[in-house]
Structure 1
Amino acid sequence: MTTNNLTPPELRGAVWRKSSYSGGNEGQCVEVADLTTAPSAGQRGVRDSKNPGGPALLVPEAVFTAFTTGLKAGAFGI
């Protein structure tokens, strides 16, 4: 996993969606995008919706899926 300031060409085609678990206006806003174009294909982008021009975390699809599956199963005690 790496943190990068992504330039517009790297985000071409990305459709960001806000997590249904993000708090309303309480400052807990996360957006996720399926990245389908090179060089980021096969990864998910995760960013702070309040700072869309800021850094985004790039996570391989399999790692993101394992993480969200673990969250749903209560594996992290949250």
Structure 2
Amino acid sequence: MIRTYNYYAIFNFADDGINVSFPDLPGCLTYGHTLEEALIMARDALALYLDGEPVEELPPPQTMPQLSNPNDKAYLIKVNIHY
């Protein structure tokens, strides 16, 4: 069985790269040097995080997060998990 999950990630654009965090998933963090790399790493981090959690315990995804930092941008990250 395959389940599709969509969670927003916050990409913080810094001078040395892009830090990525998922507000709904504590501890789900990653990093990339470029936007392309950060998007790939975000998908990988989300898939690994969700694969290790029981489906019943996953928090529901929130709507688009409010951003207060001008260096932040939200991206909706989609992954398919095989159960």
TM-score normalised per structure 2: 0.30
TM-score normalised per structure 1: 0.31
Flag the structure with higher strand content: 2
